Structure 1
Amino acid sequence: MFEKIIQPRFSETDALGHISNTTLPVWFEEARQPVFKIFTPTLAIQTWPLILARFEIDFTAQIYYGQEVLIKTGISRIGTSSLNVYQEAWQNQQRVAIGTTTLVHFDYETQKPSPISESQRDALAAHDFQPA
């Protein structure tokens, strides 16, 4: 599992003073960077092999400005050419959101999914994280 600390910004608050629900997809994407590096160590866009096929987020508690948020990221499923990244956001020892993103390993030349290599599978499997 990977962990990343996010310091909420004032601009991420909504009219009610909470962190806006539109902020979590951005935070979760930022916390997926170690997963991206398994496929593209340099993060070079020119050789980017992943596309986002789906994401869902459930909010389980309010998130507040001025308090750090810990994002936990891991792999909950590895398929032939796709994977699910499972993530949790925590603030003050309380889980405040959970999310799952499906990424597809994609060949832009053929415009089709391509198999995840054995070495990539091994690297992904080292970060197994199953929903509680």
Structure 2
Amino acid sequence: MPRRADAAVIVSRIFFSLTRSISVNPPYKSAPTSAVALELIAVMSFVVVSTSEGHPRNASEIARHVGIPRETVSRRLRTLIESGRIKLVDRRYVADLDFYDRLVNLPQVEEWFRLLDACAKQLADIRAALRGRDAV
């Protein structure tokens, strides 16, 4: 019988797989602590999303959305700029989407879609089972 925790496991699997694939070519020179790596991934992901939506953000806005202190976000942004992943344009941070076009290869994208499709099916099955159980 599925449990609500099963959904958390699937979401965790997606997060782990995506962050691992993003970290294949990390933006740092030496191995960071886990907390620093997660902060970099969170900041980088938010900048990529806000760039793709046409709404680049400043450091304060990024900090507010990501939930990390502004000073920490500023340090992570500097690391990402130095690695070529993002740019500072008119005091707003913009992802270099060309960098990601070069970084991400087609087999990797195909693996992401395969993983997302499998997880979506599992989540739908869990939702149906939980609704049936809660209705009893």
**Fold shared by both chains (TM-score > 0.5):** no
**Higher normalized contact order (CA 8 Å, seq sep 6+, divided by chain length):** 2
Bigger Rg over Cα: 2
Q: Looking at secondary structure, tell me which structure has more helix per residue.
A: 2
TM-score, normalised to structure 2's length? 0.31
Relative to total residues, which structure has the larger strand share, 1 or 2? 1
TM-score by structure 1 length?
A: 0.32
